[in-house]
Structure 1
Amino acid sequence: MNTDKNSVTTSATTRILLLFLTLFVSGLYGQTDHFRVKGKLLYSDDFDSGLENWVVETPASPGSRVEVLRNKLVIDVSDGATVWFRKKLSGNILIEYRRKVIVAKGGNDRLSDLNQFWMASDPRNPDLFTRTGVFSEYDALSLYYFGMGGNYNSTTRFRKYTGDGERKLLTDLDNEEKLLKPNREYHIKISVYNGTTKVFVNDREFVSYTDPEPLREGYFGFRTVKSRQEIDRFKVYQLK
Structure 2
Amino acid sequence: MKVSRRALLLSLAFSGAAVADPAAFGERGRLIFSDDFEQAPDSKTWVAEIEAKPGSTVNAGNGRLVLDTAGGVTVWLNRRLSGNLLIEYCRRIVMQGGANDRLSDLNQFWMATAPGGGSPLGRNGVFESYDGLSLYYFGIGGNGNTSTRLRKYEGGQRTLLQERLDTDHLLKPNHDYLVQTLVKGGRSAVYVDGQLFFEHRDASPLKQGWFGLRSTWSRQEVSAVRIYALE
With normalisation by structure 1, the TM-score equals 0.84
In structure 2, the residue matched to 1:39 is: 29
Cα distance in 1 for partners of 2:80, 2:163 equals 28
In structure 1, the residue matched to 2:153 is: 161
Query: Residue 90 of structure 2 aligns to which amino acid in structure 1?
Result: R
1:218 matched to 2:209? The reply is yes
Deviations 1:120-146 (A, max 9, x none): 000147232110000001011000001
Deviation of the 1:34 alpha carbon: 6.8
Partner SS state of residue 218, structure 2: strand
1:117–1:107 distance in 2 versus 1, CA, 3 Å: same
1:187–1:124 distance in 2 versus 1, CA, 3 Å: same
Query: Residue 130 of structure 1 aligns to which amino acid in structure 2?
Result: G
| 1:1-240 → structure 2 map (5 Å cutoff) | 28=18, 35=25, 37-52=27-42, 53-124=45-116, 126-162=118-154, 164-240=155-231
State the aligned residue count.
213
Q: Is the 8 A contact 2:114 2:120 kept in 1?
A: yes
Query: Residue 154 of structure 1 aligns to which amino acid in structure 2?
Result: T
Cα distance in 1 for partners of 2:117, 2:182 equals 26
Q: Is the 8 A contact 2:109 2:138 kept in 1?
A: yes
1:113–1:208 distance in 2 versus 1, CA, 3 Å: same
1:173–1:73 distance in 2 versus 1, CA, 3 Å: same
The structure that is helix-richer by fraction is 1
Cα distance in 2 for partners of 1:62, 1:95 equals 32
Deviates more, 1:90-99 or 1:49-58: 49-58
Query: Residue 119 of structure 1 aligns to which amino acid in structure 2?
Result: M
Q: Is the 8 A contact 2:39 2:61 kept in 1?
A: no
Alpha carbon RMSD of aligned pairs, Å? 1.8
Q: Is the 8 A contact 1:38 1:94 kept in 2?
A: no
Q: Which runs of 5+ in 2 are unaligned?
A: 1-15
Deviations 1:27-54 (A, max 9, x none): 8257x98746341100001112421120
Partner SS state of residue 136, structure 1: helix
Which segments of structure 1 move beyond 4 Å, counting only runs of 4 or more? 32-36
Q: Is the 8 A contact 1:117 1:144 kept in 2?
A: yes
Cα distance in 1 for partners of 2:219, 2:19 equals 30
Q: Which runs of 5+ in 1 are unaligned?
A: 1-24
The structure whose Rg is larger is 1
Query: Residue 29 of structure 2 aligns to which amino acid in structure 1?
Result: G
Q: Percent identity?
A: 45
Cα distance in 2 for partners of 1:219, 1:104 equals 32
Partner SS state of residue 28, structure 1: coil
